[in-house]
Structure 1
């Protein structure tokens, strides 16, 4: 039942942005529909959930393969942590034909050592110097995602296009931050090996050009295509609430600079004996990072401020440094203290930038500090800038840049990537690895679809199942795809220990899983498939009928 790569292309296209016009593929869609009607169009959705979702998806796919069902899947779409699993799988051409071998390689890598600080730092510099727009997503990719996935994958999605003939078509999903916050335009972004763009609007650009600068539909300046490490960071950056992430990033920044200083990695950066030591400049930045951590945690940073000012005075040859006074900081008012610290950070960065811009990489660190202050994530050029097209919401045409972020911040499952009309989906299999309410994703998808007039079956959950979910739910409706919903932890695979399993695999864990933890999670996720393989085949048979 597996389709060819060419048929996949026709199945996935909607309206694509090409040069200065939007081209409709009406005829191709009709041809694709005729071919697609011959087989059921099945989409497998994997929710977010950090490492839990990454490992849970892998265990589920292994069992789908054993049950002979994986071969029926046309699309595999993921959110957040599940995209980390997808990125690992699609590195291997035709991975679905040798899944046991691929699985063993992935588990061995995830159980191994993390990427070294030196390699992570080198990758961070490569991101900073390699493109026009730099944001915290680049920092998250180099310093955090590498901790979980244990590699720096510099392949691109378009590299995979040539070897997709036997695997489900992959769709990675994020959301447009401005559209989510302001309610204007289309929040759902999908990125596949051949196109990237807005799922509901139907406006797309070739994936290799997604990061490039456009004006009125024409490319003005090419930017390199995002690599797979960055894509995983773009998709999976909401592992905790904003304050926890902020804390963790300041810790990473502080520890990285400290490590580089201890390893003597700045020694080769010295210029001449007259110029101040490079180390002192980076020690000042390290103090500044730790001051931010103190303020976030309600601690007095005065001793660090004194150390920082001493370093700056030494660097300036004893000249007075005009820096925002930290003495007026009021820790009792947490939000005011954060704003005050942001101003102090900006002052220090401006001072260092003005006086010591000649020091290698100091501008990169200052840029990182400013991104932390402004909380800039996933900023890209807007390929719809100044389109002046009625099919595109005016809000999507105005700004030269857009910010993209983890789709789990809106809906933790990628329903709207497969609910595009031209995809003609008959059956959705939703693997839910979410933390908390195990039915929130499918309920939210139903409510959102209702508002948007998108066919979706009604979702009714028995009250008694809210606390003790089962392992298999089917939702059906008139002229709508059938939706199968499978919560990860449930009364069938966990018995009375659901909360114990949830506690053991919380999303907010910034350390990677050990081998035993990976194996147990793959087993419990796999049971949801092996226990329901006949139910799955029955529903597939029903949509064929």
Structure 2
């Protein structure tokens, strides 16, 4: 069995010493047809060292022999994948990459020495022979923090102080660079001006038990116009430095470096590791649990009223109801207001505990949650303001004067430490289109709207993607609440006000000012981030032709002798690089014009050795990289966040976290295309993931004549929520002004809402909605809720009775 930890745990974990001896290859493939390869092997174990080791080059042979040994200190609780990259050295061009072997070193047991032959091409009898030895490390066990998927390791702090006491008084200033690969700071440039004015000390935070090095590079000193000195450099292995003791290094005749490595603790009085600022755990945060307790009382009172119950509900009898929506620009904004207005009129809004949104829906949500008591007020009055903003001319948002204002704020944002992109500009444009001035509201400030349980908890959604990979091949769900921002897959969360700040190994390293809500809106509706492959898959999701051209080629290979297999071991695989044409084509097809970039709060964190067996991780394990941990958690400094519609247009994934225990989902579709495909894709996805969710398939005849409301449930799985689905259709609204109230002849035109034709005013590209069009969409979605209120009430009543019986059975 694997590790099924959902909460953060701190535990001592020993390190080991891994010795890798690269012995030889047989029948090596050629890089070209004319000559044999000049072969070397590049070794990289990113969980132990950021630097790559390399064998000598053996020239002009298909059977190179090296017999070279390399040593790594590894953390046993981390998934350590050794990469053995075989290359052909070229003197005049870039070296040819022949293949790479990915080997899970946890297959080697402590105290073992194993000689392995990797069968690279059994037909051609191509083999790579490597010997592995695993020994105990003399170091004391490392204190790690883990949730069974991510691992935070101990961090040490290196302080470097320049001693310029040996500089001459007339010496010119000297500039030099200090760097520690894999540290939070990476590199720092220092200037030593005179012996009386030494450089400020430099600090580096790095993984204590990694094979880190301090690199010192001195600049060339000009002697005359025609003569220059070469760069001077020095390297100091940090694992040779005694902890808490100062050591003097003499890299240059004119000055010394005083270096001191120490455990990174909270203070002198408390000799214990710093508490993590990233919460590692799949459970709900304490703030959300507290909210749910308060919200249950509101929901219980509302249900007693609308269901006409004789007695009030106990906490365990109160169903958790959620509203989930899709995107669609101004169309979604107007539709969201109409939906919530309809729920309020039918006294159902107080029965809802969560509202999730993406893209244009978030524009309405963020507007509402600026008011701490919005759901207790007449939404009709709030909607009046939104209608004015929707109908106004948007030309000023694109004027030269506005662009100058945007440029100034983006420059200030860059100065504050953010990496800006066109998506941030888009966010400022959204703000100008929906407001009469700057909106200084922030995500964390929405806590005021839920601190008494007075409104449903809002959840916003985005996808984290990677460069040069299509969204279909890699994406990670990222949820945003007023309390936290985090990854569903990894169980890693940070406070909402800390999102965008710099983190390393779970620690907050540099606090940046929290983003204004407009920048979040730009990210949640980043319609400009689609690449060509996303567009292709959106048009025809069954087409695999371009994938064959753009995906890396990995094949599982055997090793001799066979090693005992454990469920969490990853099979040995070989990567064969594609040709130059394929790489160029992949770059073209997967390049995104713009993405929203934020500092990666997972930076430095490593993956647990048994992560692949973790149930919570497996629920969201859905991409080609999930069994490639070196690629999955690469040291990317930035998250790249896009609109969720690039995968499927629904915001319900956060509601499927089992910890939220959602009973009923009111799913409102606002897309302008197919009214069934978004939910079908979501249902298929959740079924494939093993996440409880009802099947939502309709036959062709039903799709041609869609009704306003459908109920989907899985009677055989009580953990699956009941889904009440509302397509965006104009059915009985054409004939009825309100439920049971027929339209007069003069009012018939008001019921004609053109949702999907080429002449529809509700295109996602539209940035304005005239008052009449806004009202039609508003009234349509309002009506569809009211006309099907009895269906909602029946489902709620049934779920209440089920929860009562579930407790007694």
Q: TM-score range by the shorter chain?
A: 0.5 to 0.7
- Judging changes above 3 Å, is the alpha-carbon distance between structure 1 residues 381 and 239 closer, same or farther for their aligned structure 2 residues? closer
More strand by share: 2
TM-score (norm 2): 0.47
Contact 1:187-1:198 within 8 A present in 2 as well:
yes
Q: What is the CA distance between 1:142 and its match in structure 2?
A: 2.0
Q: 534-543 or 458-467, which moves further after superposition?
A: 458-467
2:138 is the counterpart of 1:138: no
Contact 1:112-1:150 within 8 A present in 2 as well:
no
Q: 118-127 or 88-97, which moves further after superposition?
A: 118-127
CA distance in 1, matches of 2:529, 2:510: 35
1:106 equivalent in structure 2: 386
More helix by share: 1
CA distance in 1, matches of 2:510, 2:473: 27
1:514 equivalent in structure 2: 770
Q: Per the alignment, in what secondary structure is the counterpart of residue 109 of structure 1? A: helix
Q: Per the alignment, in what secondary structure is the counterpart of residue 435 of structure 1? A: coil
CA distance in 1, matches of 2:496, 2:370: 17
- Judging changes above 3 Å, is the alpha-carbon distance between structure 1 residues 498 and 107 closer, same or farther for their aligned structure 2 residues? closer
Q: What is the CA distance between 1:444 and its match in structure 2?
A: 1.2
Q: Per the alignment, in what secondary structure is the counterpart of residue 365 of structure 2? A: helix
2:792 equivalent in structure 1: 536
- Judging changes above 3 Å, is the alpha-carbon distance between structure 1 residues 523 and 170 closer, same or farther for their aligned structure 2 residues? same
CA distance in 2, matches of 1:532, 1:467: 20
Q: Per the alignment, in what secondary structure is the counterpart of residue 76 of structure 1? A: strand
- What pairs with 1:282-431 in structure 2 (closer than 5 Å)? 375-390=593-608, 394=629, 395-431=632-668
Q: 529-538 or 36-45, which moves further after superposition?
A: 36-45
CA distance in 1, matches of 2:778, 2:686: 32
Q: What is the CA distance between 1:501 and its match in structure 2?
A: 2.9
CA distance in 2, matches of 1:386, 1:235: 26
| From 368, 375, 400, the counterpart of 1:89 | 368
CA distance in 2, matches of 1:445, 1:396: 26
2:721 equivalent in structure 1: 481
2:675 equivalent in structure 1: 438
Q: Per the alignment, in what secondary structure is the counterpart of residue 521 of structure 2? A: helix
Q: What is the CA distance between 1:186 and its match in structure 2?
A: 5.7
| From 745, 748, 756, the counterpart of 1:502 | 756
Q: What is the CA distance between 1:148 and its match in structure 2?
A: 5.1
Q: What is the CA distance between 1:494 and its match in structure 2?
A: 4.8
CA distance in 2, matches of 1:76, 1:499: 26
Alignment RMSD: 3.4
- Judging changes above 3 Å, is the alpha-carbon distance between structure 1 residues 491 and 374 closer, same or farther for their aligned structure 2 residues? closer
Q: What is the CA distance between 1:241 and its match in structure 2?
A: 6.6
2:61 is the counterpart of 1:61: no
- Judging changes above 3 Å, is the alpha-carbon distance between structure 1 residues 182 and 76 closer, same or farther for their aligned structure 2 residues? closer
CA distance in 2, matches of 1:374, 1:73: 37
| From 471, 477, 492, the counterpart of 1:188 | 477
Contact 2:393-2:768 within 8 A present in 1 as well:
no
CA distance in 2, matches of 1:529, 1:516: 20
Q: Per the alignment, in what secondary structure is the counterpart of residue 414 of structure 1? A: coil
Contact 2:323-2:352 within 8 A present in 1 as well:
yes
Number of equivalenced pairs = 408
CA distance in 2, matches of 1:76, 1:416: 12
Q: What is the CA distance between 1:62 and its match in structure 2?
A: 0.7
Q: 147-156 or 125-134, which moves further after superposition?
A: 147-156
Contact 1:471-1:528 within 8 A present in 2 as well:
yes
- What pairs with 1:258-277 in structure 2 (closer than 5 Å)? none
| From 198, 205, 217, the counterpart of 2:487 | 198
1:171 equivalent in structure 2: 459
1:361-397 CA-to-partner distances (Å, cap 9, x unmatched) read: xxxxxxxxxxxx9723101111111211425763145
Gap runs ≥5 in structure 1: 1-14, 247-334, 340-372
Q: Per the alignment, in what secondary structure is the counterpart of residue 60 of structure 1? A: helix
Q: What is the CA distance between 1:463 and its match in structure 2?
A: 1.6
Q: 389-398 or 30-39, which moves further after superposition?
A: 30-39
2:411 is the counterpart of 1:128: yes
Q: What is the CA distance between 1:30 and its match in structure 2?
A: 9.1
Gap runs ≥5 in structure 2: 1-148, 153-275, 297-314, 536-583, 612-616, 618-625, 736-747, 802-809
2:513 equivalent in structure 1: 224
CA distance in 2, matches of 1:381, 1:102: 35
2:684 is the counterpart of 1:447: yes
- What pairs with 1:236-275 in structure 2 (closer than 5 Å)? 236-238=525-527
1:6-37 CA-to-partner distances (Å, cap 9, x unmatched) read: xxxxxxxxx99942662565896999999763
1:507-535 CA-to-partner distances (Å, cap 9, x unmatched) read: 34343111111111101111111110111
Contact 1:33-1:424 within 8 A present in 2 as well:
no
Contact 1:19-1:219 within 8 A present in 2 as well:
yes
Contact 1:190-1:198 within 8 A present in 2 as well:
yes
CA distance in 2, matches of 1:187, 1:27: 20
- Judging changes above 3 Å, is the alpha-carbon distance between structure 1 residues 32 and 422 closer, same or farther for their aligned structure 2 residues? farther
| From 132, 139, 153, the counterpart of 2:439 | 153
2:78 is the counterpart of 1:78: no
1:287 equivalent in structure 2: none
Contact 1:124-1:138 within 8 A present in 2 as well:
no
Q: Per the alignment, in what secondary structure is the counterpart of residue 438 of structure 1? A: coil
CA distance in 2, matches of 1:377, 1:534: 43
Contact 2:326-2:332 within 8 A present in 1 as well:
yes
- Judging changes above 3 Å, is the alpha-carbon distance between structure 1 residues 150 and 461 closer, same or farther for their aligned structure 2 residues? farther
Q: Per the alignment, in what secondary structure is the counterpart of residue 201 of structure 1? A: coil
Q: What is the CA distance between 1:185 and its match in structure 2?
A: 7.1
Contact 1:494-1:501 within 8 A present in 2 as well:
no
- Judging changes above 3 Å, is the alpha-carbon distance between structure 1 residues 154 and 124 closer, same or farther for their aligned structure 2 residues? farther
2:277 is the counterpart of 1:19: yes
Q: What is the CA distance between 1:428 and its match in structure 2?
A: 0.3
Contact 2:326-2:357 within 8 A present in 1 as well:
yes
Q: What is the CA distance between 1:38 and its match in structure 2?
A: 3.3
Contact 2:430-2:518 within 8 A present in 1 as well:
no
Whose radius of gyration is greater, 1 or 2? Answer: 2
1:471-526 CA-to-partner distances (Å, cap 9, x unmatched) read: 10111012210001101124333589989432324434343111111111101111
2:693 equivalent in structure 1: 456
1:384-431 CA-to-partner distances (Å, cap 9, x unmatched) read: 112114257631453121210111111211110111111000000000
